[in-house]
A and B are shown apart, each in its own frame.
Chain A
Amino acid sequence: MNNRKFIYILLLILSWELISRVVGNDQLMPTSLVIAEKLWYELIEGKLWLYAFYSIVAIFIGLGISTILALSISLFSIKYKWVMDFFKFLNSILHPLPGIAILPILIIWFGVGYKAIFALVIHSVLWPIITNLFLALETFPKTLSMVGDNYEMGLLRKFWYIYFPGIMPSFISGIKTGWARAFRAVISAEMFFGVIGATGGLGWYLVKKRVFLDTTGIFAGLVVIIIIGIILERFVFNKLEKITIEKWGLKS
C-alpha cells in the first residue's frame, strides 16, 4: 500500500471517529474502536468468518460457472458469427435487468437455496464478462488468428493458445466487474432468503444483526465485506494483472 492510500484510510477513520463522537450514540454510529472490538469478537466468538466463507464459496462457484459459460460462448463465437449475434442480442435484453428483480422467478424455479443463488450470480456475472470478451474478440488482431491457421491449429487449440491470452486484459476486467456484481447479488439473495446451509452467508448475518438492532455488528459485517473486496482487488486481481497483461505490455 502506498503512503497516499494509507493517509486516506487514516483520514477516513479519523473523520468517522470525530463524527461518531459528535453523534454520541453507538446505536446509530458506533466509534471505530467499538467497531474494531466488535469485529474481533464476531470473528472469534460469533464465527463471522464462517458467514463470510459461505458467501465467498457461493460467489466463486457462480463466478466459475459463469466464466466457463462465457469462455465457451466466446469460443463458438469465433467459429460461428451467429452465436455472437445471438448472445449480443440476449445481452442487450438481459444485461440491464437487475439481479434482484429476477429473484422471485428464480425462487419459483429453483426454490430457496443455493441453486437460486448460483442462478442469480450467473445472471449478474455472465453478461459483463461476455460484453468484455466480445469487445476483445471483435478487435482481436486478424494476424494473430492467421498465425493459428498457418499452423493448422484446431478451434480449441487456437482459442486456448492464441485467443485466450490475447483477450486476457478484457477477461480480467470482465471478471473484476463480475466479481463486484456477484458479491452484491449474493449478499442481496442471502438477505432475501435468510439462512441457507449450516449458517448462511454475510447477507443473513447482516439481517440478523438488524433484527436485534445490533448496529455495531452490522458495521463489523460491512467492514468484513470491504476487507474481502480489498484483498481480492489487491492480492488476486492486481497480482493476476501484474503477472500477465502488465508483463506482456498489454495494459493500456
Chain B
Amino acid sequence: MSIVLKNISKKYENKILFENINLEIDSGEFITIVGKSGIGKSTLLSIIGSFEKVDDGEVIFNEKSVKKPDRNRIIVFQTFDQLLPWKTVRENIEFPLIHTNSNGLDIEKLLDELDLKSVENLYPHQLSGGMKQRVAIGRSIITKPQVLLMDEPFGSLDVGTRQNLQRLVLFLWKEYNITIVFVTHDVSEAVLLGNRIWILNESEIIEIENPIMRPRDQMAANYQMFVGELIKNIK
C-alpha cells in the first residue's frame, strides 16, 4: 500500500498553495507535516484523504487514482465537534462498524486501550477535551483503516493530556500497523512522532528523515538540536 501525490496543484482564493508537487507515503510510515499557519498543511491532508479537490494532478492510493474519500483513509480533526453528540462514547466508536458492515477491531479491547471503559455510556458533552479526542481516535481506527490522517488532533489540549495522547497514538500505530500522516504546528511534536517530516514552505516542500531513534527523549541534546534545525527550515 502506498499513497502517491502526482503533480498536484492547488489554488485557494487565487493564492497558489501547491504547484506540481510529488510526494509518496509508504505503508506503515508515520509522517508529520509542519509549517506556518495558513501555509496549506490541512489542505494537503485533505487532498491526501480526497476531501479536497485538486486543480491538477492526481492522488493514487493502492495503485488506483482516487477522487472521493473512503473508509481506508480516515481523518481525525482538531475540533471537538467531530463526535456525534447524540451518541454515547461506545456508540460513537461503533458507528463506523455499523455503517460499513465490517467486523473491525474488538471494541472491548479498544475501549480498554483508550482508557474509555469507565465513560463508555457518557455523551460527548460530558467528556473532557482529551477524552473526546480519544473517542475520535477510537472511532477512526475501529474499522482497521490503512491510513489515519490527523489534522492537529491535540492542538486544543493541555500539555499533560497532549503527552498522554502522543504516547497513545504511537502505541496504536505500532499495535495496528497503520500509516499515519499527522499535521502539527509544534515542531517538537513532529520530531517526537514522525519517521519522516514534511516541512511546508511557500515555494517548496522539504522532506527530512528523522535521524533520532525511538524511544525519543525530548530532553536529549540531539533531539533539541534537530528541532532547532527544523525550525530554521520553516520559512
Which residues of chain A have a CB within 8 Å of any CB of chain B? 141, 143-144, 146-147, 149-153, 157, 161-162, 165-166, 168, 244, 247-250
A151-B71, A152-B70 known; A144 vs B99 contact (CB < 8 Å): no
B79 and A143 within 8 A (CB): yes
B82 and A147 within 8 A (CB): yes
A165 and B81 within 8 A (CB): no
A151-B96, A152-B70, A249-B126 known; A146 vs B86 contact (CB < 8 Å): no
Q: How far is the CB of A171 from chain B (nearest CB, A)?
A: 12
A149-B68, A150-B74 known; A248 vs B125 contact (CB < 8 Å): yes
B79 and A168 within 8 A (CB): no
What's the Cα separation between A246 and B81 when bound, in Å? 17
Q: List 18 A-B contacts (CB under 8 A).
A: A141-B79, A141-B81, A143-B77, A143-B79, A144-B81, A146-B51, A149-B68, A149-B69, A150-B96, A152-B70, A152-B71, A162-B84, A165-B84, A165-B85, A166-B84, A168-B86, A247-B123, A249-B85
Chain B residue nearest to A244 (CB atoms) is B86
Query: B124 interface residue, CB < 8 Å from A?
Result: yes
Which residues of chain B have a CB within 8 Å of any CB of chain A? 49, 51, 68-71, 73-75, 77, 79, 81-82, 84-86, 95-96, 99-100, 123-126, 143
Contacts of B99 in A (CB 8 A): 151, 153, 157, 161
Contacts of B74 in A (CB 8 A): 150
B51 and A249 within 8 A (CB): no
Contacts of A150 in B (CB 8 A): 49, 69-71, 73-75, 96
Contacts of B70 in A (CB 8 A): 150, 152
What's the Cα separation between A40 and B77 when bound, in Å? 61
Q: How far is the CB of A170 from chain B (nearest CB, A)?
A: 14
Q: How far is the CB of B105 from chain A (nearest CB, A)?
A: 15
A146 and B75 within 8 A (CB): yes
What's the Cα separation between A162 and B86 when bound, in Å? 9
Chain B residue nearest to A164 (CB atoms) is B86
Contacts of A144 in B (CB 8 A): 81-82, 84
Contacts of B51 in A (CB 8 A): 146, 149
B100 and A151 within 8 A (CB): yes
Q: How far is the CB of A44 from chain B (nearest CB, A)?
A: 44
Chain A residue nearest to B124 (CB atoms) is A249
Partner of A141, one of B73, B82, B123: B82
What's the Cα separation between A149 and B100 when bound, in Å? 12
Partner of A249, one of B68, B69, B77, B123: B123
What's the Cα separation between A151 and B92 when bound, in Å? 13
Q: How far is the CB of B155 from chain A (nearest CB, A)?
A: 14
Known: A248-B85, A249-B85. 10 other contacts (CB 8 A): A141-B79, A144-B84, A146-B69, A146-B77, A149-B68, A150-B49, A150-B74, A150-B75, A152-B71, A165-B84
Partner of A250, one of B68, B77, B85, B96: B85
